[in-house]
């Protein structure tokens, strides 16, 4: 069984309280960082660990921290992005519900490293219980002297606030989050300037995902080099995967990056295979915005190598035959699921959540949703598939923030890999409303690559 | 700083945007801008029609930029090389953006007061397709009166946010903004409170489409049947410059607007008194006819169009045919 770093004590009763958390070795990272390390050394440890942002983009966290501008006399901020709203992702909510002090501890260490005197946790508005849990945890930590003025007698001051959002998906985009935190309409800002130069209230700001901040705790406790030994290649450490869909054992799992996907899917330690003895048809590997893959391409890369749960291996093959790690929202579809309906559902979500600021995303998401709705309900045309691909191309890359890309990728990839099913919806409109296309050839072994002609 | 746009080099000051550098060069290579307005701080970056390709980042870092960038919000770097109309990707992307802007637009140009001076119309003419691929009901809204002088026709709006910035920056109290999200977002004044401010009329001038129209001019005339004349008056409002364009139909002033430059931007903002209440020639000191670009439809109606085109002048056969046709038409 692989070692757990974040969820090690998740089953200890009362781990959500300060005393139990402390007795299990909690807040050791705060003591170590504040008493024995300088802020630069903390940043250096995180850099050595190779930790990559767990929110979706996978940008190295240490590098992000070192980009932070440090002008004299200007406040710096750390903002924790807990606006987790990607369909399929629920790992941050799990972490905050069950082990809130891990996040608080990570926030203290990270704020110390960045020299922030005030830090915010921006939590999605629907997560009211988690907001209460975090506020209680902050009050506990403050009572024990881990927050507030002169923490542990080291002279470092930190105030930590929880800010509920309004529940908009777009506020998970870092600049929209900052706008929302400032009390404005949550529209993404036009970059540059990046938040590291001018973020919250125009001051240098770092925005990190909940899991990235929590991962700082084991990195400081054990040292960056130890952390980097876990995982594979440039994907170091452990990652929380929120597995959902037609699995026997859905839930949040902490895996070492580099675990073969087959093991993750079928071993009893993790998902335990597909529910009700059905076969796997397709997988969305990292939350709704990453490209969807059919079972055969998901288990094996195009070169017939086993796919691993790591940033690189999942992206192997680029957009043609690969996908992305994303935020770790793993969704499995069994043979009875309709890909067209699923794609429509995703498109509907992005249509609803587009902020409406830039035209390709505002108009294009709605257009795609309408075309997919037509296909799903049996009024589609053969030309619709090409239209959808074209519209998604017109959106992708031409928008202010990545929401446009996130809306375009699932549609483009679904048509790329499941075109037969879309066409079947056009040719058999009546059947399509009463039964599903089934698994077809989506789980067949991949054809052998052609040998280079000798 | 030296920047090259479509092969044309130009020296500009640091901090200039690519769009403004292109405007200094002028001509075809200027990217169209629907939401950027040089007089409004923070505008731009939203409509995505001004996308350009940066093939060389700068002298120091020659890597190209990975995505197309909004030229109105990207500042130039020394040695930057930009492709606008010479890049097929840019043309393709712009076509896409224009299509997106038009899918929910009512295309009611025949009854729209903005027709003839509408940026979306120009853009659609230049980059749009003749047929639409959009086969669904277009989004519609009820018309809203914002005060007694301005009408908002949200159906035509492209959400450029210019009027919101105007209300923020030119007028004292902002009382309108964007409600809702995505393609159902709309410009609104909350409980339809009247916009009551000396400078509120400027939202009509900044609107690139016919979403905000002047109710004193509504359905009075097509702009290309009117004659623009420059005029000024001593305005009592200290913040108003009093320099305007009067639009004549026969002897009547039927509309007053701010003076707009070749990119459709008001040179200086004017107050509501000048715009809505002073509609007599005696109110104004006339300076002379307003120069209108010969490309504009506004100039197509009334000056010297019976003269033969230059190409005709050099060809004897065409000259003969032209004479015949001219005689026939004048006889009728």
CATH classification at residue B109: 3.30.70.20
Q: Say if the Cβ atoms of A168 and B96 lie within 8 Å.
A: no
> Does residue A358 surpass a pLDDT of 50?
yes
Task: State the pLDDT confidence band at A150, using cuts at 50, 70 and 90.
Answer: very high
Q: Which residues of A touch B136 (CB under 8 A)?
A: 367, 370
- Of A451 and A59, more confident: A59
pLDDT of residue B303: 47
> Does residue A17 surpass a pLDDT of 50?
yes
User: Which residues does residue A163 pair with via DSSP β-bridges, in sequence order?
Assistant: A122
Q: Mind listing the pLDDT tens digit for each residue in B143-158?
A: 988 888 889 999 999 9
Q: CB–CB of A85/A352 below 8 Å?
A: no
- Are B108 and B164 contained in the same domain? yes
Q: Mind listing the pLDDT tens digit for each residue in A231-262?
A: 998 999 999 999 999 999 999 999 999 999 99
- Are A399 and A318 contained in the same domain? no
> Does residue B205 surpass a pLDDT of 90?
yes
Q: Mind listing the pLDDT tens digit for each residue in A75-88?
A: 999 999 999 999 99
pLDDT of residue A56: 85
- Given the DSSP bridges, would you call strands A280-284 and A292-294 parallel, antiparallel or unpaired? antiparallel
Asked whether the bond before B329 is cis by omega within 30 degrees of 0, the reply is no
Residues of A with CB under 8 A from a CB of B: 168, 170, 185, 190, 351-360, 362-367, 370, 387, 393-395, 397-400
- Are A343 and A202 contained in the same domain? no
- Are B159 and B187 contained in the same domain? yes
- Are B63 and B117 contained in the same domain? no
- Are A164 and A30 contained in the same domain? yes
- Are B108 and B210 contained in the same domain? yes
- Are A371 and A286 contained in the same domain? no
| Strand intervals (E) in B154-260 | 177-179, 186-188, 212-214, 227-232, 243-249, 252-258
* ipTM (interface pTM): 0.86
Give a yes or no: residue A453 inside a domain: no
* Residue A51 C-alpha, separation from nearest chain B C-alpha, in angstroms: 24
Give a yes or no: residue A454 inside a domain: no
Q: How much is the CA Rg of chain A, to the nearest whole Å? A: 23
Q: Which of B100, B104, B181 sits opposite A360 (nearest CB)?
A: B100
Q: What is the pTM of this model?
A: 0.90
| Of A187, A205, A229, the domain-final residue | A229
- Are A29 and A158 contained in the same domain? yes
Please state, in angstroms and rounded to a whole number, the distance separating the CA atoms of residues B202 and A328: 49
Report the percentage of chain B scoring pLDDT > 70.
92
Q: Which residues of B touch A357 (CB under 8 A)?
A: 46, 159, 161
pLDDT of residue B85: 92
Taking CA atoms, what residue in A is nearest to B136? A370
> Is B103 an interface residue toward A (CB < 8 Å)?
yes
Q: What domain count does chain B have? A: 4
In which domain, by residue range, is A323 found? 232-334
Mean pLDDT of chain B: 86
Mean pLDDT of A258-268: 93
Mean pLDDT of B196-220: 88
- Are A164 and A192 contained in the same domain? yes
Q: CB–CB of B38/B169 below 8 Å?
A: no
Give a yes or no: residue A447 inside a domain: no
Report the percentage of chain B scoring pLDDT > 90.
52
Question: Could you give the count of Cα atoms lying within 13 Å of A12 in the half-sphere of its Cβ?
Answer: 17
Q: Mind listing the pLDDT tens digit for each residue in A95-148?
A: 999 999 999 999 999 999 999 999 999 999 999 999 999 999 999 999 999 999
In which domain, by residue range, is B157 found? 104-214
Please state, in angstroms and rounded to a whole number, the distance separating the CA atoms of residues A233 and A444: 30
- Are B112 and B174 contained in the same domain? yes
CA A61 to chain centre: 14
End-to-end Cα spacing for chain B:
60
pLDDT of residue B194: 46
- Are A312 and A358 contained in the same domain? no
> Is B104 an interface residue toward A (CB < 8 Å)?
yes
- Are B57 and B140 contained in the same domain? no
Residue B23 three-state SS: helix
pLDDT of residue B251: 85
Among B67, B68, B78, B57, which residue's Cα sits nearest to residue B31?
A: B68
Q: Which of A60-64, A341-345, B290-294 has the lowest mean pLDDT?
A: B290-294
End-to-end Cα spacing for chain A:
45
Mean pLDDT of B296-309: 61
Residues 129-158 of B with CB under 8 A from A: 133-134, 136, 158
Give a yes or no: residue A1 inside a domain: no
> Does residue B300 surpass a pLDDT of 70?
no
- Are A119 and A220 contained in the same domain? yes
- Are A273 and A146 contained in the same domain? no
Taking CA atoms, what residue in A is nearest to B67? A397
Give a yes or no: residue A249 inside a domain: yes
Give a yes or no: residue A166 inside a domain: yes
Q: CB–CB of A164/A45 below 8 Å?
A: no
Domain at A32, CATH number: 3.40.50.11540
Query: CA B330 → CA B196, B317, B325, B326, distances in Å?
Result: 52, 20, 9, 6
> Does residue B307 surpass a pLDDT of 70?
no
Domain at A382, CATH number: 1.20.1440.230
Burial category of B11 from C-beta neighbours within 10 Å (exposed 0-12, middle 13-18, buried 19 and up)? exposed
pLDDT of residue A450: 55
- Of A97 and B164, more confident: A97
| Of B69, B96, B123, the domain-final residue | B96
- Are B117 and B203 contained in the same domain? yes
| Of A170, A202, A229, the domain-final residue | A229
Dihedral over alpha carbons B176, B180, B184, B186 (to 10 degrees): 0
- Are B91 and B109 contained in the same domain? no
Q: Say if the Cβ atoms of A362 and B185 lie within 8 Å.
A: yes
Please state, in angstroms and rounded to a whole number, the distance separating the CA atoms of residues B177 and B236: 29
Please state, in angstroms and rounded to a whole number, the distance separating the CA atoms of residues A61 and A53: 5
CA A424 to chain centre: 33
> Does residue B306 surpass a pLDDT of 60?
no
Q: Which of A121-135, A274-288, A301-315, B285-299 has the lowest mean pLDDT?
A: B285-299
Task: State the pLDDT confidence band at A309, using cuts at 50, 70 and 90.
Answer: very high
- Are B293 and B309 contained in the same domain? no
List the B2-5 sheet strands across, edge first: B8-11, B2-5, B80-83, B51-56, B69-70
pLDDT of residue A453: 42
> Is B73 an interface residue toward A (CB < 8 Å)?
yes
Report the percentage of chain A scoring pLDDT > 90.
85
Mean pLDDT of A35-54: 94
| Of B51, B69, B96, the domain-final residue | B96
| Of B214, B236, B257, the domain-final residue | B214
- Are A180 and A286 contained in the same domain? no
- Are A238 and A308 contained in the same domain? yes
Give a yes or no: residue A6 inside a domain: no
Mean pLDDT of chain A: 92
Q: What domain count does chain A have? A: 3
Taking CA atoms, what residue in B is nearest to A358? B46
Domain at B53, CATH number: 3.10.20.740
* Residue A84 C-alpha, separation from nearest chain B C-alpha, in angstroms: 19
Q: CB–CB of A256/A270 below 8 Å?
A: no
pLDDT of residue A39: 94
Give a yes or no: residue A13 inside a domain: no
> Does residue A70 surpass a pLDDT of 80?
yes
- Are A50 and A78 contained in the same domain? yes
Question: Which of B17, B18, B48, B58 best probes binding to A when mutated, by most A CB atoms within 10 angstroms?
Answer: B48
């Amino acid at each position: 069984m692989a070692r757990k770093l974040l969820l090690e004590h998740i089953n200890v009763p009362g781990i959500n309280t300060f005393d139990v958390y402390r007795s299990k070795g909690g807040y050791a990272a705060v003591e170590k960082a504040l008493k024995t390390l300088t802020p630069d050394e903390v940043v250096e440890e995180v850099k050595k660990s190779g930790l990559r942002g767990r929110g979706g983009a996978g940008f190295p966290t240490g590098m992000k921290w070192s980009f932070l501008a440090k002008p004299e006399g200007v406040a710096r901020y750390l903002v924790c992005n807990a606006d987790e709203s990607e369909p399929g992702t629920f790992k941050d909510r799990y972490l905050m519900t069950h082990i809130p002090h891990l996040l608080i501890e990570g926030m203290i260490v990270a704020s110390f490293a960045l020299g922030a005197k005030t830090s915010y946790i921006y939590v999605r508005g629907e997560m009211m219980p988690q907001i209460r849990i975090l506020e209680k945890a902050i009050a506990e930590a403050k009572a024990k002297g881990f927050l507030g003025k002169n923490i542990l007698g080291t002279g470092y001051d930190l105030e930590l606030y929880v800010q509920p959002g309004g529940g908009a998906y777009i506020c998970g985009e870092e600049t929209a989050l900052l706008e929302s935190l400032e009390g404005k309409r949550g529209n993404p800002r036009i970059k540059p300037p990046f938040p590291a130069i001018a973020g919250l209230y125009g001051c240098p700001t770092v925005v990190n995902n909940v899991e990235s901040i929590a991962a700082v705790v084991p990195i400081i406790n054990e040292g960056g080099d130890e952390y980097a030994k876990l995982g594979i290649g440039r994907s170091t450490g452990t990652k929380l995967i929120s597995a959902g869909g037609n699995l026997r054992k859905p839930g949040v799992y902490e895996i070492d990056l580099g675990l073969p996907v087959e093991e993750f899917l079928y071993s009893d330690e993790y998902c335990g295979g597909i529910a009700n003895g059905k076969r796997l048809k397709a997988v969305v590997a990292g939350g709704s915005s990453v490209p969807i893959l059919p079972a055969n391409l998901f288990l094996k890369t195009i070169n017939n190598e086993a796919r691993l749960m790591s940033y690189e291996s999942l992206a192997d093959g680029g957009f043609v035959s690969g996908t992305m790690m994303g935020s770790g929202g793993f969704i499995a579809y069994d043979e009875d699921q309709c890909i067209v309906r699923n794609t429509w559902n995703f498109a509907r979500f992005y249509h609803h959540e587009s902020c409406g600021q830039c035209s390709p995303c505002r108009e294009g998401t709605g257009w795609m949703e309408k075309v997919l709705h037509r296909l799903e309900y049996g009024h589609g045309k053969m030309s619709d598939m090409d239209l959808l691909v074209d519209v998604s191309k017109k959106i992708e890359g031409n928008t202010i923030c990545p929401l446009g890309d996130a809306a375009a990728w699932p549609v483009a990839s679904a048509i790329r890999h499941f075109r037969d099913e879309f066409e079947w919806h056009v040719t058999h409109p009546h059947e399509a409303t009463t039964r599903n296309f089934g698994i077809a050839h989506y789980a067949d072994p991949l054809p052998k690559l052609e040998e280079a002609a000798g | 700083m030296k920047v090259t746009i479509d092969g044309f080099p130009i020296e500009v000051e640091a901090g200039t945007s690519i769009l403004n550098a292109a405007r200094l060069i002028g001509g075809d290579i200027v990217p169209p801008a629907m939401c950027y307005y040089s007089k409004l701080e923070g505008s731009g970056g939203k409509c995505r029609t001004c996308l350009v390709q940066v093939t060389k980042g700068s002298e120091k870092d020659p890597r190209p930029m990975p995505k197309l960038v909004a030229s109105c919000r990207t500042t130039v770097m020394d040695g930057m090389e930009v492709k606008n109309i010479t890049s097929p990707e840019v043309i393709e992307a712009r076509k896409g953006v224009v299509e997106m802007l038009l899918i929910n637009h009512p295309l009611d140009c025949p009854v729209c007061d903005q027709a003839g001076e509408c940026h979306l119309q120009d853009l659609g003419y230049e980059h749009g397709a003749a047929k639409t691929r959009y086969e669904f009901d277009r989004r519609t809204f009820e018309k809203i009166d914002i005060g007694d002088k301005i009408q908002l026709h949200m159906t035509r709006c492209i959400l450029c946010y210019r009027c919101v910035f105007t209300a923020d920056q030119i007028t004292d109290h902002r009382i309108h903004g964007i409600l809702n999200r995505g393609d159902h977002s709309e410009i609104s004044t909350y409980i339809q409170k009247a916009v009551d401010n000396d400078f509120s009329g400027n939202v009509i001038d900044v609107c690139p489409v016919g979403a905000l129209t002047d109710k004193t001019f509504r359905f009075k005339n097509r702009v290309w049947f009117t004659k623009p004349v420059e005029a000024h008056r001593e305005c009592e409002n200290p913040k108003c410059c009093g320099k305007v364009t009067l639009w004549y139909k026969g002897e009547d002033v039927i509309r007053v607007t701010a003076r707009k430059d070749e990119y459709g931007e008001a040179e200086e903002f004017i107050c509501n008194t000048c715009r809505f209440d002073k509609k007599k020639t005696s109110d104004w000191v006339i300076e002379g006819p307003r120069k209108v670009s010969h490309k504009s439809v506004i100039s197509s109606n009334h000056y010297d169009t019976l003269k033969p085109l230059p190409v005709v002048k050099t060809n004897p056969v065409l000259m003969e045919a032209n004479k015949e046709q001219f005689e026939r038409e004048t006889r009728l």
